[in-house]
Structure 1
């Protein structure tokens, strides 16, 4: 499965056979509970088509023209790197068949078995040929006698990435008669069967090296592998691509796990999708000018020129199979929409799409979810010949990450309206009418067979195809158009007809068909350049990609004239259109624009162009007083993409920029310019050195200050850099300042700041903030400092606990702490803090070690809890949570919510806006991991021998007041007190979860998340 998928179950659940350790009763994992555990959208019903023992661990699926379901099993998933029992004969391709139409498979057959298809992640059935992606190989199997057994195995492609989840994925047959497939960011390079590097149309190797392609890619080629094209690149792990009848491509992409950045993409042909920095190949964590604050957006370099926008970001997940539903059986809301499986959050969704400018916008509509059984792992979705939806369920306690927790189970579900039987008309290719019926099928495998028959018939099928082209169904019309344009000598006629059609989707299909059959697109673009639809004009821009026609620059400028200066989809299409010829195209537009270039449109084009021609214009934009400071990072970032002497001279000019009246803006411009200059150039020239000193002095406390001090090693400002780390709160500025100080080897200054005397609460909090910043730097130099705090018994306990949380944020730091724990060198007072921190981590290796040293606390029914990050992803019942909160013996006994309850611990009326879900679980499960200020527990030992425990309310020289666990305040004269001892643990019970089940605990947290505003206190009547 998907290599970087989220592991969402503690290590003890990952065993090669199931045990009693599970999220709920063992019987709940049996196949007879599979359907009851699902929640299915209204108007639909799930039935279990097949399950274990007939199949196990299905990773990829296809449904053929006979309605048979083909499955790639991955029992041996990543067996080579894991010590697990394997199926010695290798993984299997299994065919499941329902022979009596009851919607359940009653026959199964092994098409092929072998260790050469272990961990396969893609299957595509094309008549008697089957394409299987089993990295590093893409195989073509042939069933020569149609007996359901592979008779021939050939190598279609080979990829460089070895056996890897982020490599070759499933193929799909397109409406244009070509093959579409992809690989993730470990694919590396594509070779033919003889091992020769595949070259695309432009003669470039299909190679992940930034020249020009990065990461995951989407491909199109003929069925024999010839005429190879790279359609898009710079994805992380784009699991599967799908294509609709108009030739529009859609796919999902997985983020670096834990960053809530999973995305759905409309794949604009020849687009860059921004996983890596196109300029350097750096990943999203590398600081860059103008990047988003929000990690899910920053993740994809969306503010860099040349990056196509995302259609939708769906948060955390492990995205898998995808298809376009072009049937009529399911309810209207799902028709012609994307359907997608996401194994991580246990869901199959539709993404209803609407056109938005030159692109699209989408929403989420769940089809199947499983709140009860978190082992439901939908790995693929396909459409059957009757229009029903089939869902493959890998069924496992976790998802990927080189893991498999259950090698025995696996399910296939059929989703359809409640009364819809699994019945359909068999494909008849003996007549043209039968083939026409086949090309209308919602099932791609059926359409493949029909397409080949109709294409083979050529002009003989023309009348029937023309009739289909007159259909009211626009998708049928598009399928007919692709075939009509494929009739020898007729491409020009039907393309000319299509581009005059009243439907913009047909006009788009006509233009794509012209490219498919290699017609001259220039006359067509001329006719469509003023089209009312921005989507059609988008396709015109894409059609100009690498065109050598002398008319292309002027046509491109015409398309620019209709850009509104706002639509990023349109802008990126224009960028794709001028790719490789930016100077020629931009010169044509600038000549046309003349002095009127400085408009939103002109600024966007210059930002997007990434060529030396744009430099003087970008400088003018930056210097223009009408350019708001918030927009300046965008144009400086554009300069980063332009190499050479002209850019260096431009930033040198900007470093001496002067502007009357706006010191803040001037400082920013000079700082950004200097940061792009060579340190030798700046320090060897007095005018630049003077500018540097002035801007550092005037930019104190800003990101520019940090950047300049670090780059130019301005030693006199090192102490201020460290001070900034402790005086900026828990902020990006603090983290960047301390990271810079560590890079500059100022560990001694940092330790001096940490050891400074703290006389008041403000200064104490500054130290905690500095510790927090150290933990967030991801700099190995921080770990030694943090570990020294943790191991120093003279350090305040609150600081040591913060250091534990901080060191656990990095893999080396976490393992160093675990090393100490294994040797018994972690203070028992820190164990709860360590347990909480390790439970919340997404680092699987850390979580495994920590689970042995700091096992999760059991619940009321004595079942171990999953990690905090898993609990945080589970939804609960607010009403039940409110009831549990107020039940005697739980939360309301010590906490007040809007005036109700006992005021022992902190008032929780606004806790939902103060703490995240993760923090709420941590507070309940590990109360001593971090005790709120002023809620430390004290023990008062009286002269009489009595002992009182509680919270300190007040203490003077004469008396002390303690509030006990029953919220009763008791005051004692100091003359009667023997000793007052501050406790190191929370007054809150450390085993509160023992009175709750997992479900009750989740429900309480769900309720707490709703507490975001205290009710106002009414004034008493006078």
Structure 2
């Protein structure tokens, strides 16, 4: 049993028994994996019950409960929902206040901490001690590093950690933090302020606070005079963060604490969840424990079978599947929407079976390890609606019925070498008058865990797109769309808000990454009044992740820069219509002066213009312009004449369109190596001196040529 110090309130010897915690989840409002209020509440409730036997939970999802009796006997209430002006609590303030006056605890997670200033805000100051106030607080995504934790039951067993989330900060607290204990605090980096002022994005007060390096409190505890307790937590945007042991333990501890249950000295125990368990919580399902755990996902896993998109016009509305699975231990059946949304995408795996020396084994005789469906449930020998399986108007004797987007995973018993099935559209979808003709599904089979590349597509369809990791903007999904060679390893080095909209990069002799960071491009021109930036990112501790950032130069003169090369203390930036040379004379990573190398080269705000200079093995500069480059002038504005006596000008005398150049570092001995390209991006030089580039030929035809640049070549 724990005896808390008086600074934490009256001593508590109340065990977890007979404690009821009510979770109220708002509607899921963001893409898959974000603001998963229902899934988050279900996961936390189940984990809390398992970790503290005796605590009972009730979960209401989809908004505020119509029947107030759900709160009867509650020791604590947890709110996990969208907030602001639409916060459900705004219409139930008096109702909730009556519960608070009984000493019931309240925990608010993520967006649930935001309410309007005034009546709602005042209640929150009383109940939990603080809230997100528009035009005062901000909501950037950033990696918060919690280096020190206070001694408090909520931090029991929690170790210092850092994690990327949408950590709101600069919260509105009670005056002088009266009755409030900060739990998680971190210094917000300057990058969190790289946004315009707005209700949630920035204001003078928060900018001053960040500039001073103030600690920003993103989780806090409140002890009320009525004996009740409150907890505010601004993380929780990213559902997958519940997989972080310290993040999860702290919130579980806090919920137990506001319910006045004893928090174990090591914190509320819980096992690290698999991705499948977190997905199952979103879908409101349980993951089979008897089927065994799946291997962790690996980047770059390829399907062993990938069908074309099957539509109602496909013969038989189906496609045969017959794939080699020798040596495989797992099988993943994926049905994704065909790119036009998932309406009416009822999908069946007809007669799925394993074939090998042991004969045939119906997949329907095995228990899946996990299964998820974009609508209704995955069913055995029935379609997702619970009716008989029918593909192309033909009855299917056995199979699996689901709905895109769907993943069904199995452990493969030994003795089987092939997987066979008829994958098709179920009549339950194709016969619907409203959208049956639009039914479209792509079927894939994996023998390794595809991870987020597939899982993030579940529920990601919607009316107009295919969803999926390719549509996700979460840093955790950044690698999902990459094809990574088996001998290579791809990891995430940096993401927003540390860096936004990079257009080009170079790596210096210290391994630091220099980036052209562009915001002021075309319709966003002027969005960053201070101008675009050259940013230096550094991995100071060698863990493969950027942890330091500094600005080398910022100004409107480099708006929409498209190229950068770092050569000692010189940094050459290509920004149409100019190519600048910046000098760092004193080595402090700040530009001390700049000079022009080339001028009147390309159209401003156009990416078909001047691209990056590359330093070749012969000491020459290699670079190119696209078909809006037009001509090249020297620093004084005089048209360049190449070594063959031709003006470097797109006028057919003799050069057309995009061009590839070679010259000395001072711009002399200028050569045009090839011409008549459309939008050739950044040349490269191999060890033999051959020049290569990519040319974005035609957006309409989605064509890209990889060019060997033959000297004097006309590539029209």
More helix per residue: 1 or 2? 1
More strand per residue: 1 or 2? 2
